[in-house]
Amino acid sequence: MLCDLDQGLAAARAQQFGIPEVETDYQRLLSRNDIDVVDIVTRGNDRGENHQELTFAALEAGKHVLCEKPVCHDYRDIRRAHEVAASKSLKTKVGLTFRYAPAVMYMQSLIAEGFIGEPYIFNGFEQNSQWINPDTPMDKRPHKERSEATEIKGHDPRPEAIQVLSLEGYGAPIIDIGLMSVGSRLERVVGTLKNMLPYRRRTNLDTERERINVDDADIFIGDCANGALFSVQSAYVTVGNYPGIEARIYGSKGALVCRLVEEFGDCQTLHGATPDAVEFVRMPIPDRFFPPGVASGEPWPSLFYGNLVHNFMQELQGGDGVNQGNFAQSACVQEVINAVALSHRQRRWVDLPLAS
């Protein structure tokens, strides 16, 4: 079943993908007994604020839930959602797409086997040049009329009032990969958020630029509980191709560098080195890390998401406790984002877990 407020859109997609049923009222979808899993991928007015409402409704209705990020803006709400799910033996998954890239899954498998030894340093990047041009509308939706509801605010020009944007939209998946790679939680973080382009076009309806104070680029560093060092940079004003992930992990026995960047015909590469062989060499990704039905040269959005969805289906059928990239993990990631934002606003190191 496919549900959307826009009947025409839902019908067109259903036809495109051969989906039997179409609906415009999500409540009716949730009340169906013959639906096991709900996938929430709505846009909403306020950067997915309806994700929270829809998520809790779906869990209350007893459905397993896949939800695009952000599940909720406050990590405490995501944790609550996780607890609701766990109490009803439901599994969840968040659209932290990039952990499901075959190269990343292979990287994690190597780490689990001891390739890097004791983790020392993680460096993560998620960056490209999507909004390097100040005339590219910050809100890319094709608006036909002006509306008060806008997901891009940034009205307060003070540096400490900067609206978190890149850190949440771009940073979340690489923070997720970083935590997974070092195998430890962060104990404290400190960071800086920058509004590199202070004047931008807000929407396609705007001809003039206006002052918009949003986080175009940010860097934070942190200490992990297991002694590792952590850094993450996210930006949409840094020249580079999509998606723009780079994950590097250095340890006592080896190092791995994973790039998810469209370059020279590849969308993903993994390179590794050891103290005895210090030049980083390409490590081909074994077939078992690719989803069923993968086509050669398949674009990364469908390739990575194919793995995500396949992984969720395996977990649902597995019947054991395994459930990676779920709401609990998303809450950890969102907590880090909340902590870095607080660190920026108060210009100090912030300890984790955050005080409630």
Partner 1 sequence: MKDKLRVGVIGAGRWAGMAHIPGWKRSPLVDLVVICDIDREKAQARAKEFDVPGVETDYQKVLSSSDIDVVDIVTSGDNHEPLTFAALEAGKHVLVEKPVCHDYKDVWRAHALATSKKLKTKVGLTFRYAPAMQYMYDLIEDGFVGQPYIFNGWEQNSQWIDPAGPSRFARQDTGNAPIKVGSLEGYGAPTIDISLWVVQSRLTSVVGVLKNFVPKRKNPDGSWVRTNVDDGDIYIGEYANGAICSMQSSYVTVGNYPGIEARVYGSKGALICRLVEEFGECQVLKSATPDAVEFVEVEVPASYFPVGYKKGESWRSLFYANLVHNFAQEITDGGEANQGNFAQSARVQEIINAVERSHRERRWVDLPLDPGVGD
Please give the residue ranges that form the binding site for partner 1 (CB under 8 A): 118, 120-121, 123, 127-129, 132-133, 190-192, 194, 196-197, 217, 219-221, 223, 227, 229, 231, 233, 235, 237-241, 250-252, 254-255, 262-264, 273-275, 278-280, 347-349
Min CB(205)–partner 1 separation in Å? 24
Q: Is 232 exposed, middle or buried (0-12, 13-18, 19+ CB in 10 A)?
A: buried
CA neighbor of 245 nearest in space, from 134, 102, 112:
102
3-state helix, strand, coil in the chain (%, to 5): 35, 25, 45
Q: What distance in Å separates the CA atoms of residue 330 and residue 356, rounded to the nearest whole number? A: 17
Q: What distance in Å separates the CA atoms of residue 110 and residue 108, rounded to the nearest whole number? A: 5
Give the residue with the Cβ less far from partner 1, 115 or 327: 115
Min CB(271)–partner 1 separation in Å? 10
Give the residue with the Cβ less far from partner 1, 10 or 107: 107
Q: How many CB atoms lie within 10 A of CB 229?
A: 15
Give the residue with the Cβ less far from partner 1, 17 or 264: 264
- As a dihedral over the C-alpha atoms of residue 39, residue 45, residue 48, residue 54, rounded to 10 degrees, the angle is -50
Min CB(290)–partner 1 separation in Å? 24
What 3 state SS string does 167-193 have? HHHCHHHHHHHHHHHHCCCEEEEEEEE
Min CB(218)–partner 1 separation in Å? 8
Give the residue with the Cβ less far from partner 1, 18 or 297: 297
Give the residue with the Cβ less far from partner 1, 128 or 163: 128
Peptide bond into 243 cis (omega under 30): yes
CA atoms within a 13 Å half-sphere pointing along the CA-CB vector of 255 = 17
Give the residue with the Cβ less far from partner 1, 184 or 192: 192
**The pair of three-digit structure tokens given for residue 64, joined into one six-digit string:** 């397993």
Min CB(219)–partner 1 separation in Å? 5
Min CB(227)–partner 1 separation in Å? 7
Min CB(242)–partner 1 separation in Å? 8
Give the residue with the Cβ less far from partner 1, 252 or 302: 252
**The pair of three-digit structure tokens given for residue 231, joined into one six-digit string:** 């850094």
Min CB(132)–partner 1 separation in Å? 5
Give the residue with the Cβ less far from partner 1, 26 or 250: 250
> Left, alpha or beta for 47 (phi > 0: left; psi -120 to 50: alpha)?
left
* Collapsed DSSP state (helix, strand, coil) of residue 195: coil
